[in-house]
Chains A and B, each alone.
Chain A
């Protein structure tokens, strides 16, 4: 039998000043810290909805990010727009397997993993299931850590577009797809931030 959680004892810690407050009247309204008047909240079960919303938005944005071109390259007058997957395929065909792999992982594997992971975390948190709590905690930390690495694509496009400006000889311009891709990354990060990892541990222990 684990020691009780703060919520079990009707206590909430103020996030700002650290004062421990009694939270024995749930459902009345917003509780504020008796010392610093900061809003008091325990386990933010209410933000699951927000997390869901952001995840959904990220998913929606992921479609145009893949369908629409992310980059316009023009070399010696021969211009073409390419989507992420086209770029991956092109790199792969030209033999640059490393680059293709990196871009593929950063732009496909990572976002998809994040979608799945976040979805899994949210569902399990909503169900308050005690199923593999420790592994889910690891997953969450992983999502947080890995989150901004998905900005690799956006960075590549931004850097290349800024560097390659040779007028008629060569030119690279970002296309609208990369915006959506950036939005996917940011939205998943926000979704992960909205998710309160303590939800993992709420509910009955197994």
Chain B
């Protein structure tokens, strides 16, 4: 103990101050309030929980994959599970309260991933940021909890202005979702979706035409496939159709309105149109209902394809609908059954001039055709293109064809057929070949061979024996001829002598004739001698012969 300090402890003073309640309890209170408010906020700001089914969870991650609407994060994938049957992936999404209205029944969800297509590249930003789920808010009032995620982004979102139409196509061709729709070569829309029709006979395409342009779709509008490069090699030859480069790449559809379309009515949304193969077909007048006929050919129809034209008098009035093999049990042979669609309306004004009769359409057609068949109407598969062997069906009058049965009650109607022109040629050639085949060519050949051997022998004899002799003979002939030539030469002495001799003989003959004449007239001269009056006629010379010569030659 320090001695400088008193040993007694000091006396404290009392400060009388009002005792306050301890403020320290404010701290946990504030903490509780803040914590509670934050939890409340988190609870209040969380919107509905929805589940979305996807085919695959590629790129999705629970707690990390955001849900974006107009590029604003409006939710988060909270869990990813397999569906009970394991076929799909169920993503549970916690939406924000601000996005609570996104869970409409017709809202669509899809995963945005990097996509590279013919139409372009999309979602490239997700290469780095990872995939996210995008939303297209629906218009329905009812809200849903369970959604089926789209595998591909929808091309048309609910907010877009415009109208959609349904196109019925024979096949999809090179059209895909997002393929452009052109109007006067301006892109005015795109293909939103496609699906096979219920019966599988056609493809229903849904196209969306953007707002200012949709009013150009009217009742007189025709759509056609403007896709890519259309190369077709058919009975009517090689065809090559191209549109713009974009459609070559991505396919496309174009539409136009018929000029003479009559009263145009603006089409309602969802109107159904046929998608024509090309512009020509689209702008042609509509064919109307088709009449189906059955043709049975007894021979092969290699080169006849479905879609090949059916011509009547050289006019295309239909197309081949089916080609299939059939068996005729009665004849025990295979036949080709061809179904054709004939569009009577393609006959145009001809139809109006044809005679009308009572009954339903089929009945009338059958009656009418019965008459035609009686007059020789036959179906024939003709070669449209010798190069490719493509066939087409020709309906023509062949009066010389054998009579055929036509059953007016048969359904479908069966038109009688005759063999095609090429087949006729083939048959003729076949018969010729058959006849050739029947010729005893072998024995003929043998005979000819033997004869040739004989001939050879003869020739050899000729060559060895006859020819030298002939040569000799010819030589002799030549020498003989030379001698003869010497004889007959005008300059030869023999010739001259002969000439002179003949002249003298001539003269002698004349003298004798005169002498005989004189004797006829004066037979008495034999006895009395030559009278005086007749002497000059005898002596008168008529040519340049000398009297001396006469005197010499007359013995």
Query: What are the residues of chain B within 8 A of A30 when measuring CB–CB?
Result: 14-15, 17
Query: What are the residues of chain B within 8 A of A180 when measuring CB–CB?
Result: 35
Q: How far is the CB of B35 from chain A (nearest CB, A)?
A: 5
Query: What are the residues of chain B within 8 A of A57 when measuring CB–CB?
Result: 27-28, 30-32
Contact bitstring B124-161, A, C-beta under 8 A = 1, else 0:
01001110000000000000000000000000000000
Check: B453 CB closer than 8 A to any chain A CB: no
Query: What are the residues of chain B within 8 A of A28 when measuring CB–CB?
Result: 14
Query: What are the residues of chain B within 8 A of A31 when measuring CB–CB?
Result: 12-15
Check: B38 CB closer than 8 A to any chain A CB: yes
Identify which of residues 179-203 in chain A touch chain B, using a CB-to-CB cut-off of 8 Å.
Answer: 180, 183, 187, 194
Q: How far is the CB of A40 from chain B (nearest CB, A)?
A: 5
Query: What are the residues of chain A within 8 A of B130 when measuring CB–CB?
Result: 77-78
Would B24 and A34 count as touching, CB distance under 8 A? Answer: no
Bound form: Cα–Cα A28–B17 in Å: 10
Chain A CB within 10 A, most for which of B11, B17, B35: B35
Query: What are the residues of chain A within 8 A of B30 when measuring CB–CB?
Result: 57
Query: What are the residues of chain A within 8 A of B32 when measuring CB–CB?
Result: 57, 60
Check: B313 CB closer than 8 A to any chain A CB: no
Bound form: Cα–Cα A67–B42 in Å: 10
Contact bitstring A11-45, B, C-beta under 8 A = 1, else 0:
11000000111110100111111110100100000
Q: Which residue of chain B has the shortest Cβ distance to A56 in the bound complex?
A: B28
- Given known contacts A54-B24, A80-B63, is B31 in contact with A68 (CB within 8 Å)? no
Would A37 and B13 count as touching, CB distance under 8 A? Answer: yes
Query: What are the residues of chain B within 8 A of A123 when measuring CB–CB?
Result: none
Would B31 and A49 count as touching, CB distance under 8 A? Answer: no
Contact bitstring B416-448, A, C-beta under 8 A = 1, else 0:
000000000000000000000000000000000
Q: Which residue of chain B has the shortest Cβ distance to A54 in the bound complex?
A: B27
Query: What are the residues of chain B within 8 A of A67 when measuring CB–CB?
Result: 39
Bound form: Cα–Cα A170–B42 in Å: 26
Check: B402 CB closer than 8 A to any chain A CB: no
Would B13 and A61 count as touching, CB distance under 8 A? Answer: no
Check: A76 CB closer than 8 A to any chain B CB: yes
Q: How far is the CB of B285 from chain A (nearest CB, A)?
A: 57
- Given known contacts A76-B129, A77-B128, A78-B129, is B11 in contact with A22 (CB within 8 Å)? yes
Residue A53 contacts which of B9, B13, B14, B27 (CB distance < 8 angstroms)?
Answer: B27
Identify which of residues 42-71 in chain A touch chain B, using a CB-to-CB cut-off of 8 Å.
Answer: 49-50, 53-54, 56-58, 60-61, 63-64, 67-68
Would A53 and B35 count as touching, CB distance under 8 A? Answer: no
Q: Which residue of chain A has the shortest Cβ distance to B17 in the bound complex?
A: A30
Q: How large is the interface on A (under 10, 10 to 19, 20 to 34, 35 or more residues)?
A: 35 or more
Would A20 and B128 count as touching, CB distance under 8 A? Answer: no
Q: Which residue of chain B has the shortest Cβ distance to A49 in the bound complex?
A: B22
Query: What are the residues of chain A within 8 A of B128 when measuring CB–CB?
Result: 76-78, 168
Residue B10 contacts which of A29, A35, A176 (CB distance < 8 angstroms)?
Answer: A35
Check: B64 CB closer than 8 A to any chain A CB: yes
Query: What are the residues of chain A within 8 A of B12 when measuring CB–CB?
Result: 12, 21-23, 31-34, 40
Query: What are the residues of chain B within 8 A of A34 when measuring CB–CB?
Result: 10-13
Query: What are the residues of chain B within 8 A of A183 when measuring CB–CB?
Result: 31
Bound form: Cα–Cα A122–B24 in Å: 16
Would A29 and B24 count as touching, CB distance under 8 A? Answer: no
Q: How far is the CB of A53 from chain B (nearest CB, A)?
A: 5
Bound form: Cα–Cα A107–B313 in Å: 94
Bound form: Cα–Cα A115–B115 in Å: 53
Query: What are the residues of chain A within 8 A of B9 when measuring CB–CB?
Result: 11, 19-22
Query: What are the residues of chain B within 8 A of A53 when measuring CB–CB?
Result: 22, 24-25, 27-28
Contact bitstring B31-51, A, C-beta under 8 A = 1, else 0:
110110011001000000000
Check: B465 CB closer than 8 A to any chain A CB: no
- Given known contacts A37-B13, A77-B128, A180-B35, is B64 in contact with A60 (CB within 8 Å)? no
Q: How far is the CB of A77 from chain B (nearest CB, A)?
A: 3
Would B31 and A60 count as touching, CB distance under 8 A? Answer: yes
Bound form: Cα–Cα A31–B16 in Å: 9
Given contacts A63-B35, A68-B38, A194-B24, 7 further A-B contacts (CB under 8 A): A22-B12, A23-B12, A25-B14, A34-B11, A53-B27, A54-B27, A60-B31
Residues of B within 8 A of A (CB): 8-17, 22, 24-25, 27-28, 30-32, 34-35, 38-39, 42, 63-64, 125, 128-130
* 8 residue pairs A–B, Cβ–Cβ below 8 Å: A22-B11, A31-B13, A57-B28, A57-B30, A67-B39, A68-B42, A77-B128, A187-B31
Residues of A within 8 A of B (CB): 11-12, 19-23, 25, 28-35, 37, 40, 49-50, 53-54, 56-58, 60-61, 63-64, 67-68, 76-80, 86, 168, 176, 180, 183, 187, 194
The 4 A-B pairs at the shortest CB distance, nearest first, are namely A77-B129, A57-B28, A50-B24, A57-B31
